[in-house]
Each structure stands twice: as structure tokens, then as C-alpha cells.
Structure 1
Amino acid sequence: MTTDTLTNLITAAEVWRPDSSGERLELCSGCYGSLESISDARRGYAYSRGVGVVGRAWETGVPVFGPADQGDFDGVYLDSPPAQLIAIPSIKSGECRGVTLLMCNDDGQGAAELWRINERHELALAEHWYAHLERFGRISQLVKFPRRAGMPGKVWADRFPRVMGSIATSPHFVRAAGAKAEGLSTAVGIPFMKTAMDLEAVLVLLSAAGKPLTRVVEVWAKEPGESELKIVSADYGPFIDLAPASRRRRLKTGDGLAGLVYRDNAPRLTCDLQGVEFPRGESFREYGLEWGLGIPVFVGEQLVAAVTLFG
């Protein structure tokens, strides 16, 4: 194992939840890394619907991308503001259960894409952020995905998230040649549903091996008739020795990050991996992983999966 300091394009994250009135979102948790200086000011802030990327994600029910500005940081001065903000809503049958905010740098290669259904009933690129991936971005704007085609199309058809590793050589990743040319290695796709049957959008996050958005990505879910959670897809990057024990792991509701997502029906963020992810949290610490994020995936009223990111 290594204890070298790792860097990700996601440098800080927050989870915002509705307050008791349901009219504003207040900070539930934050992991800030090099942006720790803003943590006190952030705890005194709240978002109204439609304000900043967090408020717009709440209002629209789909992820929103944007640069850091005063509408998102309440005028807090940042010496080195994030290059990009990604706000990810968690909506359960019309009810906002929380919004996750990712703060990203652009000193590596990575991407976030939002795919939405066009007039031809195909998925087309509606919003995007490409960090040093201009050529890949130009190609992606020309690509359309019918239902079941490519990663976005499969996420649409299944109404279920998926993680795909080795995308540069995968026959199932339509843009594999472009991914290979740019050094991209991992993709995760997450559906956002308008109703239990109708898709609103698909979020795709793309990482390069050298400096990914995040180091470990997993999807947890329950088999029909089962009460325990297990991993259904994952990518561990260079930390492949985490995979066997992780894939054997079974979680009850409330156990581990994914179990907490299922208990609360809401996103969860922790800087205490040793405690929350015991016993494998010790291995996370030795690898230099510092935080974990769990994002619920809802289809109507049903929580169908939890996507966990570790960085």
C-alpha cells in the first residue's frame, strides 16, 4: 500500500438538505481539503430554490454545472476558486431529499456530461464540462444515443446507474477511440427520472487514470427479495486489491456509506472513512483516500441504488 498524497479533480464536496420549513437548503456536511478556509462561512449560508447551482439543481431536478461565483459562495473570497461546480439533486417522487455539490479543479483531464432526450427521442448532449478534453468534447456533441445504445442509452433503458472501467478498450463504450486518445479510464452513469417510467436526464462522469475526478466508484443495490446491499458494479483504479473484499461485502441498512444512504433516503458525505467504512476504511486511509460520498438513485418512490465515490 501507499500513503502518498493523492489528488483528484474533485477537491471539495458538500451535501445540502431541506430545512424544517422546506423552503431553503442548509448545509448538512462538507469535506473541503484545500478549501477548508470557507467551511465556517458555508455553515451560515442557505440556498433558496433557483439560487446558485445548488438552488437551480433543486428547482430543475437535474444536475447543473457552472463556474464558482458569489451566488454559490455568498461573497466568500476564494484565492483559488474551483474551476467548475457540479450540483447533483436527489429527488424522490418530486420531493428534494438533498443536493450534492462537487467542487472541481481543471488541472487534469476529466468530464461531466448531461444527456437529455431530444425531438428524435435520442439522448443528446445538453450540458457539459470538459477539462482539457476539447477534442473529445467536440466529438461528443455530434453523438446521439438511442435507448439501450452506449453507456447513456443503457442507463436510460435500465433506469439504473452503472460504472464502467477500462473504457478506452471496452466494446460497450461507443466513444472508446476518443477515450483512448485522451487517456480516459472510467465512466459512471446516473439516471434522473421525471416519473417512475420517464427519464429526465443521464449524468455521465468521466475520469482519467492519472488524476481522476475520484479514485473509487461503486454502485450498491439490493437483489429482489434480499435485505442486504451488495456491489453490482465498481471501479477501483490502481487499488485493485480493494476489489475482492469489497465485492464480498454485504451491508445492512445503516451500515457503511451505502447503508446510510438507504437508511436516510438522502445523500451522505463523510470525512471519517475509518469509522463509516469499517473495516475497509483502514485500507482507504492507507491509500490516502480522505472522503466518501453516497448519492441515492430514485425511480419514483423507490430507492434503487446508491452510488458511492471515494477520493
Structure 2
Amino acid sequence: MDVAVDTPVKTFIQVSEVWVPRDGRLVLAEGDYGTLDAFAEASRHASFAKGEGLPGKAWADQRPVVLKGFDGSYFKRIEAAAEAGLTSAVAIPVFDLDELKAVLVVLCGDDDNRTGAIEIWRESDDLLMLDDGYYGAAKHFEWISQHTHFPRGQGLPGAVWASLTPILMRDLGSGYRFIRADSAGKAGLTTGLGLPVPSPSGETCVLTLLSARGTPIARRFEIWDARPARVGKTGGAELIDGICAREGRLWDEDNPRKAAAWQGHIGRVLGTGLPLAERGGPGLVAGYDSIVALPVHLNGHLSHIVAWYC
């Protein structure tokens, strides 16, 4: 259940932030901005109506939205983003049935070496087609992805579609289960995380995060199962899969395999039903600086939590 990866020089995602509805607008609940203090300050003073800006568009469209460039777009913090070197973003709405719980926004920079992928797949005529994605320097892999589709159960997106559960895939460049293995290997992509993104419309949508060795999305990934069939009547969540940058087990006495509501970061997501994005603070897994945790709500219940650490 553990695969070692190299310690990164820089990560693919530079900023993660959580926007929550309040009085008809989205306001910033928390974020991990690293050293980008000016962009953090601009974000604290921002808010978005439904359909306004990137978070508001994800709210209105009821699905993830990719924005590959900010100039001339509906993005509202263009000047602050430019000063911070941020060039693209993905907004992921978290719905519980018809209720918007939050919008998770991740922002990236662009250079010749930053490689990875954040992809949105949508169902069309019983196939999953690429709706949009951001790939950094992996231009050939982007082209391959634009010309690839997945039946239910095939590849990482298709497997998520069939199971309606988050899935981790390892060794993308050599794994026979990953349909785009050859181009993934050439791009240096090593790890894939896929998860369903439910919508009030009932539309099928799958989010995939593909991490490269040199500029990884994260150094640790976790999938937590919160379904009653897994955890029983006592509730909580159980760590069922993960990939870690360090050798050894993912859980021990200091990092339990099970989480209860309001205990630790995963417990906070269980208690609130909201995503989190936090840098530092008590309770963070030793050796990591930040955590992003994203809940999946299905049929009116929190079913899974995916978490990644840098």
C-alpha cells in the first residue's frame, strides 16, 4: 500500500483554497498560499456571487471548471495572480444533493518544467470524454488525452465512473490498467488519483489528478471510506488506500487508520462535510507542511474523503 517517491523540488499545485456560501455569496473559509502572502490578502477581501468569478462559475455550472489563462477571462483576481506567478486554476464544487457545501479552488503556475495533470471527464453517449484539463508542460500527454475516451470500467476515469468511489493508480507509465501508459511514462507521470464529483443534475463527472515525480501534486495521498458498510454504526472513516513519499506503513500509533468526527483533519471533514486546505497547524502528519482534504457526498451521505499532503 506504500510506494516511495522522490522528495519534490516544487509542487504542481501552488495554492489551494476553500470557498463557502454565506448570505448568497462565496467567501473564503481557509487556504494554503505558501509564501504568496499578497495573493492570500487579495483573496481574503474577495467574495463571489453565483456565476461570478471562478468559484461562482463552478457553483452555477454545478461541475468542476478549468481556467487555463486569466487574462481577459472572468477571473476576478487577475492582477494579484499575475504578481504571484499564477496562471491557471481549477474549481471543484462540493454538493450534498442540491446543497452547495463549498468550492475547492487549486491554482498553478506555468513553466517549462512544471508537469502534471488535473482533468475533468464528463459522460457523453455512454463514454467519458475529456471536458477540460490543465497539464503544465505535458503537451503531448494533453493531446493524447483530448483524443481518448473511456467506457465504463476502463482506465482510471472509467473505473471511478463504474464504482463511484475514489481510486489510486500507481506506476502510470508501466501499468496495464492505465490506458495512456506510454505517453504518461514519457511525461514523467507516476501516480493517479481519480474521484467522482456528484452534481445536483445527476450528470456523471470524474476528476483525475495525475502526479509527476519532478513536480508532484503531493507527496502523500490518502483515500478514506466513510460508508456505513465499511465503518459500521459507529461512523467515522477508515483509511483504505494511500501512497506515501516515505518508506513504511501509512498508519501507526501516531497516525491511526481510523478517524472519528472532529478528531484531526480527517475528522474535521467528517464533522463539517466541507473540504479543507491548511498549512501547518497541530495534528498534521509528521514530515508534511500542508494538507488538502476533499469529501465526496453521494445520495445524501458523506461516502469518502480524499486527502493529499505536501
Q: Which TM-score band applies after superposition, normalised by the shorter structure?
A: 0.7 to 0.9
The CA deviation string for residues 206-253 of structure 1, in whole angstroms up to 9 with x for no partner, is 1101111222111111315252322122122x3233625388521111
Aligned partner of 1:231 in structure 2 is: 239
- Greater mean alpha carbon deviation, residues 123-132 or residues 219-228: 219-228
Deviation at 1:177, TM superposition (A): 1.5
Deviation at 1:15, TM superposition (A): 0.6
Aligned partner of 1:17 in structure 2 is: 20
Distance in structure 1 (CA, Å) of the matches to 2:29 and 2:249: 29
Aligned partner of 1:167 in structure 2 is: 172
Counterparts of 1:202-217 in structure 2, within 5 Å, are 202-217=206-221
Distance in structure 2 (CA, Å) of the matches to 1:98 and 1:193: 13
TM-score (norm 2): 0.88
Aligned partner of 2:157 in structure 1 is: 152
Alpha-carbon RMSD across the aligned residues, in angstroms, is 2.2
Distance in structure 2 (CA, Å) of the matches to 1:123 and 1:309: 25
Aligned partner of 1:270 in structure 2 is: 278
Q: Which amino acid aligns with 1:15?
A: V
Distance in structure 1 (CA, Å) of the matches to 2:12 and 2:145: 21
Distance in structure 1 (CA, Å) of the matches to 2:14 and 2:183: 26
TM-score (norm 1): 0.87
Aligned partner of 2:4 in structure 1 is: none
Aligned partner of 2:122 in structure 1 is: 116
Aligned partner of 2:185 in structure 1 is: 180
Deviation at 1:186, TM superposition (A): 0.8
> How many residue pairs align between the two structures?
294
Counterparts of 1:9-158 in structure 2, within 5 Å, are 9-19=12-22, 21=23, 23-66=24-67, 67-68=69-70, 71-73=75-77, 76=80, 78-107=82-111, 108-118=114-124, 120-158=125-163
Matched, 1:301 2:300: yes
CA contact (8 A) 2:9 2:214 kept: no
Q: Secondary structure at the match of 2:14?
A: strand
Distance in structure 2 (CA, Å) of the matches to 1:162 and 1:179: 17
Q: Secondary structure at the match of 2:183?
A: helix
Q: Secondary structure at the match of 2:250?
A: helix
CA contact (8 A) 2:236 2:270 kept: no
CA contact (8 A) 2:34 2:279 kept: no
- Greater mean alpha carbon deviation, residues 143-152 or residues 73-82: 73-82
Deviation at 1:18, TM superposition (A): 0.8
Distance in structure 2 (CA, Å) of the matches to 1:257 and 1:68: 32
Distance in structure 1 (CA, Å) of the matches to 2:275 and 2:249: 23
Deviation at 1:195, TM superposition (A): 5.5
Query: Which of the residues 240, 246, 254 maps onto 2:247?
Result: 240
Deviation at 1:129, TM superposition (A): 1.3
Q: Secondary structure at the match of 2:150?
A: coil
Structure 2 runs not aligned, ≥5 long: 1-6
Distance in structure 1 (CA, Å) of the matches to 2:307 and 2:217: 13
Deviation at 1:71, TM superposition (A): 3.0
Deviation at 1:79, TM superposition (A): 2.0
